[in-house]
Amino acid sequence: MKIFCGRANPTTGAVEWVEEDEHYDYHQEIARSSYADMLHDTDRNEKYYMGIRAAVRRVKARGQKAIVLDIGTGTGLLSMMAVTAGADFCYGIEVFKPMADVAEKIVEKNGFSAKIKIINKHSTEVRVGPDGDMKGRANILITELFDTELIGEGALPSYEHAHKHLVQEEWEAVPHRATVYAQVVESKRMWSWNKLLPLRVLCKARNREISILPFSAMEKCPGAPSVYDIQINQVPQSDFKPLSDVISMFSLDFSKHVSSNLASHNVLFKPVTSGKTQVILSWWDIDMDPSGTIKCTMEPYWVSSTPHKTLWRDHWMQCVYFPPEEESIVQGESMCLTAHHDDYCLWYSIQRVRDGEDGNLPVAAVERPICKCQAHMLWNRSRFGELNDQQRMDQYMRALEKVLNPTSVCLCISDGSLLPVLAHCLGVDQVFTVEISSVSHGLMEKIFRANRLEDKIKVIEKRPELLTPVDLEHKKVSVLIGEPFFTTSLLPWHNLYFWYARTAVDGHLINNATILPQSASLYTMVVEFKDLWRIRSPCGTCEGFDVSAMDEMIKHSLNFRESQEAEPHPLWEYPCRSLSDPEKVMTFDFRQVVPEQVLSTEGSLKLIRDGDAHGAVLWMEYHLTEEISVNTGLLQILNEKGDCHWNPHRKQAVYFFRSILEPATVSSCPTDVTYSIEFNPKKGELAMNYKFLV
């Protein structure tokens, strides 16, 4: 059996369906999941264990057998905890078959097969009865169905069904309840992740300031329907101003019937200071027992009583929500924050409270945010932040000033780029820009129209290789520009699609045409992560249970392909230290067409700092001109410890060393890490390998 998976093709700039081996899901999806992170979450595991033991004791105190239903059992860890705590039998439900197979191996290896039954079904398909999946209903319900947004993995429908069909009339729940919290803040940085803001760029060539404005529908758009989940603990307090205290929005009691219907929860508050309502930060905690003495919390550092000891988790982070429009509020005035949710999503709205409404405020009917301007359909949060980066735009303006003049014929190839606006403002009358999709075409025309440039910039809705002289009005291009940025790119080198597009339009360029950027360099560096390494680290035993079958799966995955694959991660969210100096390992010259031969390089990175070498980071730097470059990776090594400052708008590539999975492979401290990197022009991909020298 073959499986087809979507993958970015850097040579075409498109997502294509690629035929994978039948074991693809088994080797790739689980290895790339958060299971290892969860198993390493000691606080989570300990709190679940305490809650499960307490629930079993309560059931036994009533003179009943403890029959456990564990929905989303994963590795079977919570089921094994239940049996160890004295449960008489446990049903572990896992819908993903490869994971269910692993759970069965782990349960068997730990000697629990007689008391734990793994059921490979969705919980809503489980049947109870003599011939069913479960012989009888359970009286203890254990779940780990939560994501960063709490309900995004379908917790509410699963609970609703379980309460009606799978548990007894009286049941214990672990967790017992969940509570959602919110805080209203003003943050210029976070607001820049949500809207295209007015940009003002200084044009020295024409001695004037250029303004680039969004169109009105974009300014009022409700935004993306999905939550923005990030490691909010990496955002310094200087980047936001709290406008409210922390607000407890609502709780869900899992020991009672739960509804997945649309609901809203009003909470009145008075702003602690005046400002603009730009962001609602949100998180949750769970009580493992009815008394709330066993608590697992996602609270950020500025809320915690021990801010320097906040726990790191990647499977549960914090949420950033945006109101449709920013609104000025005044300290002390009466406001209402409303949390809305359906069966899978959560969103917020804010309204003023008139005199006399304080005690009986009607729930505001606010629909789930859906993008109406099309920008949120094309640009992710990081892209909005990148387009709003004033310093970055100034760099592009300085570079364009060096290569453009009024007689230039300019062609831009980049998804949703503002460079054509800058080119026209520099006096270029012949500006063409390529947009591959009709949605992107429509979006850019709206932006150009808002800036009265609809007749000045011609948008061509075609793939670059399909351009004809007619599209370019029979003119030869003298300056080809790009950021480069393409929405299908996942890894840093995927934006080398610009090189392939440049090659495709070579016949439309004049001799010695200017290409901006003129080249790109690939950099690499060995790092020690503060926490990110945990997502690929072996678990071995967890709370005394052998879960090494999970490690075997991840190890098998990393050996599945000919070489390890790098993974995209936004490293501004994941602190790390450089253990080597950054090194330029490969350069791609856009002034020449893509070569036919493979590009390869070898070298070594000398370790100049002590630490655990968890992996190598790779990133691209684009050389716009000889003097001006844009770095998408390491911006600065901050101190002698090697702490790193990363570009916040792009993801970097992380190549985890096998020594994370096989610590015994490094018998003594390494002094160097050797690398071999190969770029295959036919596939547009990098193959890489790193080895320790001791």
The CATH number that applies at residue 228 is 2.70.160.11
Residue 667 has pLDDT above 80, yes or no: no
Examine the domain organization and report whether 198 and 340 are in the same domain: yes
Q: Comparing 1-15, 43-57, 146-160, 536-550, which segment has the lowest mean pLDDT?
A: 1-15
Q: What is the mean pLDDT of the chain?
A: 91
Examine the domain organization and report whether 409 and 535 are in the same domain: no
Examine the domain organization and report whether 270 and 199 are in the same domain: yes
Which strand (E) or helix (H) includes residue 92? strand 89-93
Is there a domain that residue 24 lies in?
no
Examine the domain organization and report whether 330 and 258 are in the same domain: yes
Domain that holds residue 474: 389-502
Write the DSSP symbol of residue 128: B
Which is higher by pLDDT, 619 or 535?
619
d(CA 447, CA 670): 53
Which residue, of 373, 401, 436, is where some domain finishes? Answer: 373
Residue 103 has pLDDT above 60, yes or no: yes
Three-state SS at 295: strand
| pLDDT band of 25, cuts 50, 70, 90 | very low
| pLDDT band of 93, cuts 50, 70, 90 | very high
Is there a domain that residue 350 lies in?
yes
Examine the domain organization and report whether 560 and 688 are in the same domain: yes
Split into its structural domains, the chain has a count of 4
pLDDT at 387: 97
Is there a domain that residue 672 lies in?
yes
Query: Against a cut of 0.85, is the pTM above it?
Result: yes
d(CA 163, CA 172): 11
d(CA 450, CA 453): 8
Which residue, of 324, 344, 373, is where some domain finishes? Answer: 373
Q: What is the mean pLDDT of residues 113-127?
A: 97
Examine the domain organization and report whether 319 and 185 are in the same domain: yes
Condensed to tens digits (0 to 9), the pLDDT of residues 531-571 reads: 999 988 888 899 899 998 887 776 665 554 444 689 999 99
Which strand (E) or helix (H) includes residue 217? helix 216-219
Is there a domain that residue 116 lies in?
yes
The residues annotated with a catalytic role in the active site are 144, 153
pLDDT at 32: 54
pLDDT at 354: 81
pLDDT at 1: 47
pLDDT at 563: 46
Task: CATH number of the domain at 414, please.
Answer: 3.40.50.150
Cβ atoms of residues 16 and 9 within 8 Å: yes
Examine the domain organization and report whether 295 and 193 are in the same domain: yes
| pLDDT band of 158, cuts 50, 70, 90 | very high
Closest CA to 156 of 347, 364, 296, 346: 346
d(CA 2, CA 660): 31
pLDDT at 560: 44
Is there a domain that residue 509 lies in?
no
Residue 216 has pLDDT above 80, yes or no: yes
Is there a domain that residue 25 lies in?
no
Q: What is the mean pLDDT of residues 140-144?
A: 97
pLDDT at 662: 62
The token pair at 641 is: 């410890």
Condensed to tens digits (0 to 9), the pLDDT of residues 300-317 reads: 999 999 988 889 999 999
Cβ atoms of residues 227 and 194 within 8 Å: no
Is there a domain that residue 305 lies in?
yes
Examine the domain organization and report whether 596 and 634 are in the same domain: yes
Cβ atoms of residues 68 and 91 within 8 Å: yes
The residue behind tokens 């062609």 is 411
Three-state SS at 390: helix
What are the DSSP E strand ranges found in 273-345?
A: 275-276, 279-287, 295-297, 318-321, 328-329, 335-341
Q: What is the mean pLDDT of residues 654-667?
A: 71
> What distance, in Å, lies between the first and last C-alpha atoms of the chain?
44
Examine the domain organization and report whether 313 and 340 are in the same domain: yes
407, 409, 415, 417 alpha-carbon torsion, rounded to 10°? 0
**How open is the CA angle 642-644-525, to the nearest 5 degrees?**
80
Examine the domain organization and report whether 191 and 124 are in the same domain: no
pLDDT at 562: 40
| pLDDT band of 363, cuts 50, 70, 90 | low
Residue 600 has pLDDT above 70, yes or no: yes
Is there a domain that residue 78 lies in?
yes
d(CA 491, CA 522): 12
Which residue, of 344, 373, 402, is where some domain finishes? Answer: 373
Examine the domain organization and report whether 156 and 108 are in the same domain: yes
What's the half-sphere exposure (Cβ side, CA atoms, 13 Å) at 7?
14
The residue behind tokens 């239903």 is 69
Examine the domain organization and report whether 363 and 495 are in the same domain: no
Q: What is the mean pLDDT of residues 82-99?
A: 96
